[in-house]
Amino acid sequence: MASHWRAVSAALDAATAACAGLNSVYFLVRLLSDAGRRPARLAAIAVLALWSLGMLTEALALLALAASPTDVRGLESPGWTAGRVLPFAASAGVSALIARRMVGR
């Protein structure tokens, strides 16, 4: 049963990494292409790019930890898995907003 929770956590982290990676690319492209925008807008885009890169880094680090032969009991708990839902939801939510914007163009 414990390995089940570890697998679910890894799946959430993989999905988070995918969303955060796409978000990072989107915001970095926006940052580079919107060079003539107001400084406040550029700062907002830069913060979103940094946040996305942080989410990507965290998800990849957790995936590496889950794949390591190290015995990490915390990764095998329902509480840890529940804690991984929020970062996934945030990254997926931003991805959905980006997709909506891209489709609306």
Q: What is the value of pTM for the model shown?
A: 0.87
At 59-74, the pLDDT tens digits run 999 998 888 777 677 7
Q: Which of 3-7, 39-43, 84-88, 92-96 has the lowest mean pLDDT?
A: 3-7
pLDDT in tens, 14-71: 999 999 999 999 999 999 997 778 889 999 999 999 999 999 999 999 998 888 777 6
Residues in Cβ contact with 16 at an 8 Å cutoff, skipping those fewer than 6 apart: 55, 58, 59, 84, 87, 88, 91, 92
Asked whether the predicted pLDDT for residue 105 surpasses 60, the reply is yes
Convert the chain into a string of H (helix), E (strand) and C (coil).
CHHHHHHHHHHHHHHHHHHHHHHHHHHHHHHHHCCCCCHHHHHHHHHHHHHHHHHHHHHHHHHHHHHCCCCCHHHHCHHHHHHHHHHHHHHHHHHHHHHHHHHHC
Residue 2 — very low, low, confident or very high, per pLDDT cuts 50/70/90?
A: low
